[in-house]
């Protein structure tokens, strides 16, 4: 599932919507640099995990008889995530033209497939929990293969939850800022028109 793609989109939305006050530009720049650095590090780690998923699934393809699709899930999950990340990085190079349209279409279809495959993997992995790690038993599954798949799925759910929570908090803060700015503009406009309004002579003045 293209979790990192979602994280990148949310990250750059946050960075690009910084405070417009010039006095806070330096602080916003430092925060943006830290966010981008953290996301790049997380992206590199995710690439490593996906390569490990492909390698682990391929080398343990027949070592999970309780659910033979767990190694296959790891292979396809890793490959689809790597392709999704590659297309996400590459789209910035092709901003216009037919290539950009094709890449956007492929990325969208890949995201849809990744989501469906992720849900399918949840069914395959969680439905046999806990398996047996003793070879020869009916519920046997290789310990490393199963635990890797279990941890990857669980961490993915945690990341998704954090992205959703952070997105909701960001939306609430944005709405509050817009409401506060609107109130300040309204107060300033009322003050301006009140100070420039025509006042007639007081009673008794000649």
What are the beta bridge partners of residue 5?
none
Angle value at C-alpha 101, between 99 and 106, nearest 5 degrees = 95
Residue 142: the pLDDT is 94
**Structure tokens, 179:** 């409401």
- Domain edges within the chain: 3-18+27-189
Among all chains, which residue has been given the structure tokens 């992206």?
43
**Structure tokens, 18:** 């910084």
Nearest to residue 102, comparing CAs of 117, 114, 90, 115?
90
Residue 201: the pLDDT is 52
Cβ atoms 6, 81 nearer than 8 A: no
Cβ atoms 20, 173 nearer than 8 A: no
Average pLDDT, the chain: 79
Digit-coded pLDDT (tens) for 155-170: 999 988 888 898 888 8
Digit-coded pLDDT (tens) for 28-64: 566 667 777 777 787 788 889 999 999 999 999 989 9
Digit-coded pLDDT (tens) for 73-101: 999 999 998 888 888 777 767 666 787 78
Residue 15: the pLDDT is 46
Spell out the residues 6+ positions from residue 82 whose beta carbon is closer than 8 angstroms to its own. Answer: 47, 50, 51, 54
Residue 1: the pLDDT is 54
* Residues present in the chain in total: 206
Say which residue, 176 or 90, is predicted with more confidence. 176
């Amino acid at each position: 599932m293209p979790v990192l793609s979602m994280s990148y989109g949310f990250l750059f939305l946050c960075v690009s919507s910084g405070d417009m006050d010039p006095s806070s530009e330096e602080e916003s720049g430092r925060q943006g640099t830290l966010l981008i650095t953290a996301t790049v590090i997380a992206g590199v780690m995710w690439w490593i995990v996906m390569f490990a998923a492909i390698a682990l699934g391929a080398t343990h393809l027949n070592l999970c008889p309780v659910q033979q699709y767990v190694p296959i899930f790891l292979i396809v999950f890793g490959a689809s995530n790597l392709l999704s990340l590659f297309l996400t990085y590459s789209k910035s190079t092709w901003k216009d033209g037919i290539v950009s349209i094709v890449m956007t279409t492929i990325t969208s279809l890949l995201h849809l497939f990744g989501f469906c495959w992720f849900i399918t993997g949840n069914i395959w992995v969680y439905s046999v929990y806990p398996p047996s790690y003793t070879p020869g038993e009916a519920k046997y599954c290789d310990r490393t293969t199963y635990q890797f798949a279990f941890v990857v799925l669980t961490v993915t759910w945690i990341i998704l939850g954090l992205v959703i929570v952070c997105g909701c908090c960001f939306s609430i803060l944005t709405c509050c800022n817009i409401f506060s700015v609107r109130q300040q503009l309204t107060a300033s406009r009322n003050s301006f028109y009140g100070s420039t309004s025509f006042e007639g002579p007081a009673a008794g003045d000649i």
